[in-house]
Structure 1
Amino acid sequence: MEYLCLKSRNSQVIEMISITYILLGLVLLSLHAVECKPKTTPLDTIEFPALNCRKHSAVLTDFGGVGDGKTSNTKAFASAIDKLSGLASDGGAMLIVPPGKWLTGSFNLTSHFTLYIHKDAVLLGSQDESEWPNLPVLPSYGRGRDAPGGRLSSLIFGTNLTDIVVTGGNGTIDGQGAYWWEKFHKKKLDATRPYLIEIMYSNQIQISNLTLINSPSWNVHPIYSSDVIIQGLTILAPVDSPNTDGINPDSCTNTRIEDCYIVSGDDCIAVKSGWDQYGIKVGMPTQQLVIRRLTCISPDSATIALGSEMSGGIQDVRIEDITAINTESGVRIKTAVGRGAFVRDIHVRRMVMKTMKYVFWMTGAYGSHPDPGYDPKALPEIKGINYRDIVAENVTYSARLDGINNDPFTGICISNVTITLTEKPKKLQWNCTDVEGVTSNVTPPACDLLSKKKADECPFPEDRLPIEDVKLKSCSIASSITLF
C-alpha cells in the first residue's frame, strides 16, 4: 500500500514536472514568436491641409513596399493606387509613404486621392529606363523637347482626374537627375526626359509641402488643367543642370502658386501654353494665374518667364511679393515670330532683387521652333505689361526690351522702381527697341520709348481670382508603420 502511494506520488511529481516543462516550452515559444513577429509602431498623428480629406487610408508597406533604397517599388505603388481607386466613390483614399528610401519608376494617380509623403520618406527616381513608360508627344507641342519622338512619363503622373492631392510633411522626391543630365549633354536621348510631377486634363489639383531635388528635367508641370494650388514647395537643382525649371503652369486656368523656394538650372517658374502652330491649333491659354511669395535663385535664367512657348496665349497673371537673388532676370517675356497668340494683362508688384543681370527683359526673338512648319506671319501680341514697387541692387543692366519690328510690345507701364548698379555696370542701362509705354518714378531713368509720367502708379487688379478664395481643409489621421 505504501509502495502504491509512493508510486502514485512519484507519478504526480513526474506529471507536474512534465507539465512545467511543457508550460516553460510554450512560454519560450511564445517569447520567440513575440521576438520574430513584426512590431507595429504608431506614427505621430498626421495633420495637413488639403482640398479634401479622405475616408480611407493605407500605407505603402501594406502592398509590398520596401524602403531600403534598392528594391523597386513601382509595382507596389501601382498595386496600392489600383486598390485604393475603388474607394473613390466612398470618401476617397490616401496612400502614405512612410519613413524610408523608396526607389520607384513612374506611377499613375487616381481621382479623389491623396499621396502623402512622410517627412522622413524619400522617393528615389529609378535609373532603369524600362520603368519609365513612353508617352505620345503633347498635342500643343508637336514633338518632344529633348528629341523629336515621344516623351517619358513623369515620376508621379495623372491624366483625366478630379480631386488629386500630392503632399507631405516636407517629404522628399529625389529624381536622381545626374543620369539623365549626362545623357542630355552627350546627346544620347531618343525621348524627352521625365519630369517629377505632371498632371494633365485634370481639375482640383493640390501639390504642396514637399522638397523636390535633382529632377531629370522640369519639376512640376500641370497642363490642360484647372483649379490648381501649388504651395510650400522647396525645389533644388544644381544651377548648371539642364532644363530643371521649377514650376511650369501650361495651358492652365485658375492657378495659385505661393510660398515656394526654388534654386534652379533654368527658370524658377515658366508660364507656357504651347509651341508655334501646335499651340495655336490647341488654343488653350494659361489664364487667371496668381504667383506670390516666391524666392528664386537661378544665375542663368529668369525668376518668372512668360513663354517662350506661349502660342495658346497667356493672360490675367498677378505676381507679387517676389525675391530674386543672383538670378539672370526678373519677370521675363520670351516670344518670337511664329508664336502667334498673346501675352497680356500681366501685373507685377513688390519685387526685391539682389545681384541681377537684368531687372526687366523682354525679347521678341526667342527663335527656337519645333520644326520648319511654323507660320512666319503668326505674330504675338504683347500688351498691358505692368510692373511697380521694385527694388533691385547690384544690377548690371536695368532693362533690355526688344519688341518685334512692325509688331511692337505696347502698353508697358513701369512705376516706383529703384535700381542700384554693380561696380562695373553697362553704360547703356535701358536698351529699348519696338516697345511703347510709360514710366513713373524710375531710377535710373528709362529709355525715351517709355515716356515719363508724374506720380502715376501702374495698375494692379483689386478683384480676386476664384482660386484665391479656395480654402484648404484641416485633415488628420493616426497611422502606423511596420518594423521588422
Structure 2
Amino acid sequence: MLYVPAGRWLTAPFNLTSHFTLFLHADAVILGTQDVTQWPVIDPLPSYGRGRDHAGGRYASLVSGSNLTDVVITGNNGTIDGQGATWWSKYKSGKLKYTRGYLIELMHTDGVFISNVTLVNSPAWNIHPVYSRNIVVSGVTILAPTKSPNTDGINPDSCSQVRIEDCYVVSGDDCVAIKSGWDEYGIAVGMPSEHIVVRRLTCVSPTSAVIALGSEMSGGIRDVRAEDITAIGTESAVRIKTAVGRGAYVRDVYARRMRLDGMKRVFWMTGDYKSHPDDGYDKTAVPVVENISYQDVVATGVWKEAARMQGIQGAPFKGICMANVTAEMTKERKVSWNCADVEGVSAGVTPAPCAPLQGTHAGSCPFPTDTLAVDQIAVQQCSYSITIPATTSVALQGRPSNSCFLAVLSN
C-alpha cells in the first residue's frame, strides 16, 4: 500500500504495480503537473490506430498501469486533481501535438477496484480501463466544468465484467461511455465490452449522455445493464452512437428505473456518427443494433424532443422495447418523436412513440435475472497499527503473512 497523507502532492504521471493499493487520506490531494513536457508521449491504442485528438501518439495518463493484477485505488475520499484547465485551453487553441492523457488508465489488467475517491479537472477522460476485466468503480465522485472538452466520467473500453455503482458525475461529456475500438482498428483487435452493470448513478452533463454506447464500438458491445439512474440537466439518457464503418454490434442493452429532469431529449440513437480515424475504414462494415430495452422511465422538463432514433437505411435498429415511459415536455410540439430506420414495441409510453415503435407487447420489457460474476467481487482488507515520525519516510520491505505492503509518504 502507498498511503498518501493530508497535503498537496504535485506529480508527473506515474505507474502502479500489481497487488497494490493507492490509499488517499481525506485531506490528500494528488496534483497533476501543468508542465506538459513532464507528461511522456506513448503509443496510440491498437484498437484506435491513432490518438483521439490527433493522429499519432498520446500523452500518458496521470495514474497508469499495464499488465497488472489486483489494483486498488481508494481512501477516505481524498482527491486526484488533473489541473485540466491548461490542457483544455491548449486543446481548444490547437496548441497540442498529441492526444491529451486521462486521469486514470489501466490496460490489460485483471482486478481493478476504484472507490471512495474524488476525481476533479481531468485533462480528458477520468477513468479509462481498457483491455481489462473484473473492474469495480464504486462510490466515486467525478467533477469537471460542464463546458470542459471530453471530460467523460467512466469509460470501460474493450472490457469484460464491469460494475459501476453509487457514483456521482458532473462532466463536460458522457458520464459513462462504453467503447471497444474505432473502425478498422477496433475490428482488427476484436475485443468487445460486455457484461457491464451500471447502477445508482447520478449524472449532470448538459452537452452529453448519462450512458453512451460508442461511438467507438468496433469490437462490439453487449450485455449492458443500467438501473436506478438519476440525471439532472443532461442532454440525453442512454445514447447509442455508431456509423457505417464501425462494424460489430450493440446488442442486449437494458435500462430500467430512470429518473430524469431537465433533459434535452430522453432517448437518442444514431447510425450516422461521422467521426472516423482516417479514410481507411471499410464502408461495407455495417454495425448491428438490436435488443435495446427501456422500462420504468420518468423524465420531466424535456425541452427538445422525447426521442431522436435514427438507424441505418437497409440495416434498421431492431428489437427496441419500451414500457412505462413518460416524457413530460416543457412545450407542446407537433413532433416529439423523430424516428427513422428503427423497429420495436411499446406499452404505456407518453407521448405516444413514432409508428415504427408502436408494435404491441405484454407491457414489460426484458431485464436479465442472472447475477454477473463481477457482482461477486469483494476486496480483502487488512490493517496495521504503526507509529511513524512526521518527517520519516518508511517502507515495510518484508512481505507480511497477510500479504499487505505499506509505504508512507512524508513532507
**Fold shared per TM-score above 0.5:** yes
Question: Residue 262 of structure 2 aligns to a residue in which SS?
Answer: strand
Identity of aligned residues (%): 61
Quick one: which amino acid aligns to residue 348 of structure 2?
N
CA–CA distance in 2 between the matches of 1:316 and 1:393?
A: 28
Matched, 1:345 2:252: yes
Give how far 1:132 is off.
1.2
Residue among 376, 379, 394 paired with 2:283: 376
Q: In the alignment, which residue of structure 2 is the partner of 1:416?
A: 324
Question: Residue 336 of structure 1 aligns to a residue in which SS?
Answer: coil
Q: Deviations over 1:15-54 (max 9, x none)?
A: xxxxxxxxxxxxxxxxxxxxxxxxxxxxxxxxxxxxxxxx
Asked whether the 8 Å contact 1:441–1:454 carries over to 2, the reply is no
Count of matched residue positions in the alignment of Structure 1 and Structure 2: 390
The residue correspondences of 1:194-273 to structure 2 (distance < 5 A) are 194-273=101-180
Quickly say closer, same or farther: Cα 1:480–1:250, change in 2 above 3 A.
farther
Matched, 1:282 2:282: no
Q: In the alignment, which residue of structure 2 is the partner of 1:172?
A: 79
Quick one: which amino acid aligns to residue 309 of structure 2?
L
Q: Deviations over 1:181-227 (max 9, x none)?
A: 00001011111111100000110111111000000000000000011
Give how far 1:276 is off.
0.3
Q: In the alignment, which residue of structure 2 is the partner of 1:160?
A: 67
Quick one: which amino acid aligns to residue 320 of structure 2?
I
Q: In the alignment, which residue of structure 2 is the partner of 1:32?
A: none
CA–CA distance in 2 between the matches of 1:475 and 1:236?
A: 30
Question: Residue 298 of structure 2 aligns to a residue in which SS?
Answer: strand
Quickly say closer, same or farther: Cα 1:480–1:235, change in 2 above 3 A.
farther
Quick one: which amino acid aligns to residue 367 of structure 2?
F
Q: In the alignment, which residue of structure 2 is the partner of 1:462?
A: 369
CA–CA distance in 2 between the matches of 1:265 and 1:120?
A: 26
CA–CA distance in 1 between the matches of 2:389 and 2:263?
A: 50
Matched, 1:404 2:312: yes
Moved more, 123-132 or 394-403: 123-132
TM-score using structure 2 length: 0.93
The residue correspondences of 1:83-162 to structure 2 (distance < 5 A) are 94-162=1-69
TM-score using structure 1 length: 0.79
Quickly say closer, same or farther: Cα 1:448–1:167, change in 2 above 3 A.
same
Asked whether the 8 Å contact 1:110–1:164 carries over to 2, the reply is yes
Give how far 1:480 is off.
5.1
CA–CA distance in 2 between the matches of 1:349 and 1:224?
A: 28
Quickly say closer, same or farther: Cα 1:445–1:283, change in 2 above 3 A.
same
Quick one: which amino acid aligns to residue 250 of structure 2?
V
The residue correspondences of 1:18-29 to structure 2 (distance < 5 A) are none
Quickly say closer, same or farther: Cα 1:482–1:146, change in 2 above 3 A.
farther
Give how far 1:482 is off.
4.1
Quickly say closer, same or farther: Cα 1:160–1:435, change in 2 above 3 A.
same
Quick one: which amino acid aligns to residue 71 of structure 2?
I
CA–CA distance in 2 between the matches of 1:439 and 1:417?
A: 9
Q: In the alignment, which residue of structure 2 is the partner of 1:4?
A: none
Q: In the alignment, which residue of structure 1 is the partner of 2:403?
A: none
Q: In the alignment, which residue of structure 1 is the partner of 2:230?
A: 323
Asked whether the 8 Å contact 1:120–1:171 carries over to 2, the reply is yes
Matched, 1:366 2:273: yes
Question: Residue 473 of structure 1 aligns to a residue in which SS?
Answer: coil
Quick one: which amino acid aligns to residue 132 of structure 1?
W
Q: In the alignment, which residue of structure 1 is the partner of 2:405?
A: none
CA–CA distance in 2 between the matches of 1:454 and 1:375?
A: 37
Q: Deviations over 1:157-178 (max 9, x none)?
A: 0000001111111000110000
- The ranges of structure 1 where at least 4 consecutive aligned residues each deviate by more than 6 angstroms after the TM superposition are none
Q: Deviations over 1:367-418 (max 9, x none)?
A: 0000000011000000000110111101121111000011100000011112
Quickly say closer, same or farther: Cα 1:366–1:482, change in 2 above 3 A.
farther
CA–CA distance in 2 between the matches of 1:427 and 1:419?
A: 15
CA–CA distance in 1 between the matches of 2:16 and 2:35?
A: 21
The answer for unaligned runs of 5 or more in structure 1 is 1-93
Question: Residue 279 of structure 1 aligns to a residue in which SS?
Answer: helix
Quick one: which amino acid aligns to residue 136 of structure 2?
I
Matched, 1:392 2:299: yes
Q: In the alignment, which residue of structure 2 is the partner of 1:432?
A: 339
Give how far 1:340 is off.
0.2
Quick one: which amino acid aligns to residue 268 of structure 1?
C
The answer for unaligned runs of 5 or more in structure 2 is 392-411
Give how far 1:147 is off.
1.1
Give how far 1:478 is off.
3.4
> Structure with the greater relative contact order (CA < 8 A, sep ≥ 6): 1 or 2?
1
Give how far 1:134 is off.
1.0
CA–CA distance in 2 between the matches of 1:441 and 1:409?
A: 21
CA–CA distance in 2 between the matches of 1:291 and 1:479?
A: 38
Give how far 1:474 is off.
3.8
| RMSD between aligned residues | 1.1
Q: In the alignment, which residue of structure 1 is the partner of 2:408?
A: none
